Amino acid sequence: MEYRMTVPFLQEDLSRLRAGDVVYLTGTIYTARDAAHARFDQMLKAGESLPVPKGACIYYCGPCPAAPGEIIGPCGPTTSKRMDAYTPALIDYGIAQFIGKGARSPAVNEAMRGRAVHFAATGGAGMLYASRITACELVAFPDLGAEAVYRLEVADFPVVVTFDLLGNDVYARTTQN
């Protein structure tokens, strides 16, 4: 199926998605890569709230600096597995949507089952994704540069569901009804 949907999603929106669906996202997503995830982990262990709201969609991306007159530079996805050590705790916190590239570990897939979905963005398409971003604002950790957390407003941002709430995983080529 193909969908045009607004992020962040409501749980019922996530429930209708199936692995392999193409989704064009419009709304708000947040960037966070390795260094930001390490800080998220420290914050959660200290009982602090994260600088992203519960229910947010996290894009594993470190945007390049914007050229003069541009909103953002190229901003393609990074490998999702690099965040696997942190993902179950983020799901427990209330994050239910992740965008990156590549398969997730079995432990993350189990943590996502029934609670979160994973989307794939196309590697090497940083300029395409930049063209779908209508606003960019620094949210947290400015000392991390490109790995800081940014709030992005996106329009028709193309992704593919790679892991759905039922546990269907396009990388494992398994399906469940």
What are the DSSP calls for 123-136, one per residue?
TT-HHHHHHTEEEE
User: What is the tens place of the pLDDT at every residue in 69-117?
Assistant: 999 999 999 999 999 999 999 999 999 999 999 999 999 999 999 999 9
How far is residue 31's CA from residue 138's CA, in Å, rounded to a whole number?
A: 10
pLDDT score of 12: 87
User: What is the tens place of the pLDDT at every residue in 28-69?
Assistant: 999 999 999 999 999 999 999 999 999 999 999 999 999 999
pLDDT score of 173: 67
According to DSSP, residue 81 is labeled G
Angle, alpha carbons 92-151-111 (nearest 5°): 20
Q: Residue 10 — very low, low, confident or very high, per pLDDT cuts 50/70/90? A: confident
CA distances from 132 to 24, 43, 162 (A): 10, 31, 21
CB 103: neighbour CB atoms within 10 A? 20
How far is residue 46's CA from residue 12's CA, in Å, rounded to a whole number?
A: 31
Catalytic-residue membership of 118: no
pLDDT score of 124: 87
Catalytic residue among 19, 31, 36, 37: 37
For the entire predicted model, the pTM comes to 0.94
Q: Is the pLDDT at 175 greater than 70, yes or no?
A: no
